[in-house]
Amino acid sequence: MNLSPVVIAIPVYFLLMGIELIVLRFQKNPSYRLNDAITNINCGVVSQVTGVFIKVLSIGIYTILFEKFAFFEIPSNIWTFLLLFFLYDFCYYWAHRKSHEINLFWGGHVVHHSSEEYNLSVALRQSSTQTIWTFAFYLPLAFLGFDPLSLVLVSGLNLLYQFWIHTEAIGKMGWLEKVLNTPSHHRVHHGRDPKYIDKNHGGTFIIFDKWFGTFKEEEERPHYGITTPVKSWNPVWINLAHYANMKNEMGQIKSWGDKFRYLFNKPGWLPDYLGGYRAPQDVGSTYQKFDTAIPKPMNWYVFFQYVMLMLLTAFFLFNLDSFDLMMKLGLSFVILWSTVSFSGVFEQSRWYLFQESVRILVFGFCLAWTGMKMLPEPLIFGSVSIYLVSSYLWLMLNQKVIKNFQINLQNTP
């Protein structure tokens, strides 16, 4: 069984998001949108599924360095654990800061900042490639002698702490603001206003930002998101969009020296002959967040399918050790395909109906295969049959509603 604190806490995440949603309703704060929230969680799903393969590399390298080159033998007790927690957050600060200051690394972190809302679901909007660029920042801990298991545990706890600070339901927190990262401090970090950009990089502690000159107090409410919005609900494209833009811009850069500088300078940098550095601009009063509209029955359809996807994903993550490589690859593909398919429904892509029809059949097969490991076959086949029939009926019976909705939308100024 997967004992990662992040995976174990999945039910708690959804419980807290439900509580936050109720609180925000009372506060008349409309910071939850179904398409945005599902995309946030989809990015987290994609990150966890791809992390099954990517984290093997990072933890493997850390383990080799620990076993062969550790300077000290650090015993495992509460005091060394607390020391590791503090040192890990110090490494996290620099990994996080450089993810904002180096264009290539920003490609691995921009995913987390791409939502234009700020709520607990944004905490789950994680990148699938960030580990590639940042795992080296934690390798000094291996040389010091902190064992890999302790590192994985501390890493999970650090990420768990950062979940609750992604909210507007909590204001400033008095004396805690002096030491800890809080919702107020992290709202600043997610702001795209010029004065808020590249501030408050700490994970658990805010003291490193105060020591190294990157701290900013929250003043007016930030505008959330990134300076060039990705304008998509597709979690795979959200992970790739910055790299695709880098590829296009590097094609315009003439010299290899400038290409190298483009990779490792700040995001927004270009050579002078292409216009030079593009500084962040204030968000105009006429700016509108990216949004798409679909009929309410289709919103409920996506929500229903998403609940089914969460069940399959939870089964996958909790039982990783029992799958062989081909099964891991197969289930990973179906899960990623599903997240992309939902974005097609939200964006009303031309291909969504055909591929969603195929996906339902494949997904039903996966549900049957996983269910047979836990429940009697008659119950599984009955449940899967109900899923398939209801999904196809729901999808087909609403096609006329969608066409009328699209016509009305086109005729609305």
The DSSP string of 144-209 is HT--HHHHHHHHHHHHHHHHTTS-SSS---GGGGGTB--HHHHHHHTB-STTTTT----SSBSHHH
Q: Are residues 301 and 407 in the same domain?
A: yes
Among 181, 212, 243, residue at a domain's last position: 212
What is the C-alpha to C-alpha distance for residues 202 and 182, in angstroms, rounded to an integer? 10
What are the residues whose beta carbons fall under 8 Å from the beta carbon of 387, sequence distance 6 or more?
308, 364, 367
Q: Are residues 198 and 300 in the same domain?
A: no
Average pLDDT per consecutive 10 residues, the chain (413 residues; last block may be shorter):
59 82 81 90 90 82 94 91 96 97 96 95 93 94 95 92 94 94 97 96 96 96 93 94 96 94 95 92 87 85 90 83 83 91 87 88 88 78 90 84 66 54
What is the three-class DSSP state of 224? strand
Residue 246 falls inside a structural domain: no
Q: Are residues 200 and 310 in the same domain?
A: no
Q: How far apart are the first and last CA of the chain?
A: 54
Residue 192 falls inside a structural domain: yes
Q: Are residues 135 and 98 in contact, defined by beta-carbon separation less than 8 angstroms?
A: no
Residue 186 falls inside a structural domain: yes
Q: At what angle do helices 377-397 and 399-411 cross, to 10 degrees?
A: 30
Among 197, 212, 227, residue at a domain's last position: 212
Q: With DSSP H G I counted as helix, E B as strand and the rest as coil, what are the percentages for the chain, rounded to 5?
A: 65, 0, 30
Residue 275 falls inside a structural domain: no
Q: Are residues 196 and 320 in the same domain?
A: no
Residue 254 falls inside a structural domain: no
Look at residue 85 in the predicted model and tell me its pLDDT: 97
Q: Are residues 190 and 301 in the same domain?
A: no
Q: Are residues 207 and 303 in the same domain?
A: no
What are the residues whose beta carbons fall under 8 Å from the beta carbon of 273, sequence distance 6 or more?
254
What is the C-alpha to C-alpha distance for residues 89 and 97, in angstroms, rounded to an integer? 12
What are the residues whose beta carbons fall under 8 Å from the beta carbon of 17, sequence distance 6 or more?
37, 119, 120, 121
Among 173, 195, 212, residue at a domain's last position: 212
Q: Are residues 313 and 206 in the same domain?
A: no
Look at residue 358 in the predicted model and tell me its pLDDT: 92
Q: Are residues 190 and 308 in the same domain?
A: no
Identify which of 164, 120, 142, 114 has the alpha carbon closest to the alpha carbon of residue 29.
120
Q: Kindly state the tokens that stand for 182.
A: 């809080």
Q: Are residues 159 and 305 in the same domain?
A: no
Q: Which residue has the tokens 């296009």?
A: 248
Q: Are residues 158 and 307 in the same domain?
A: no
The DSSP string of 25-41 is HHTT-----HHHHHHHH
Residue 58 falls inside a structural domain: yes
Range of the domain at 10: 5-212
What is the C-alpha to C-alpha distance for residues 147 and 138, in angstroms, rounded to an integer? 12
What is the C-alpha to C-alpha distance for residues 189 and 92, in angstroms, rounded to an integer? 15
Q: Are residues 188 and 321 in the same domain?
A: no
Q: Are residues 184 and 301 in the same domain?
A: no
Q: Are residues 129 and 226 in contact, defined by beta-carbon separation less than 8 angstroms?
A: no
Residue 27 falls inside a structural domain: yes
Look at residue 411 in the predicted model and tell me its pLDDT: 58
Question: How many structural domains are present in the chain?
Answer: 2
What is the C-alpha to C-alpha distance for residues 39 and 234, in angstroms, rounded to an integer? 7
Residue 378 φ/ψ region, left for φ over 0, alpha for ψ in the -120 to 50 degree band, beta for the rest: alpha
Residue 205 φ/ψ region, left for φ over 0, alpha for ψ in the -120 to 50 degree band, beta for the rest: beta
Rg (CA), the chain: 23
Residue 396 falls inside a structural domain: yes
What is the C-alpha to C-alpha distance for residues 355 and 370, in angstroms, rounded to an integer? 22
Q: Kindly state the tokens that stand for 51.
A: 């992390």
Distances (CA, A) of 168 to 32, 70, 115, 126, 264: 11, 43, 14, 19, 33
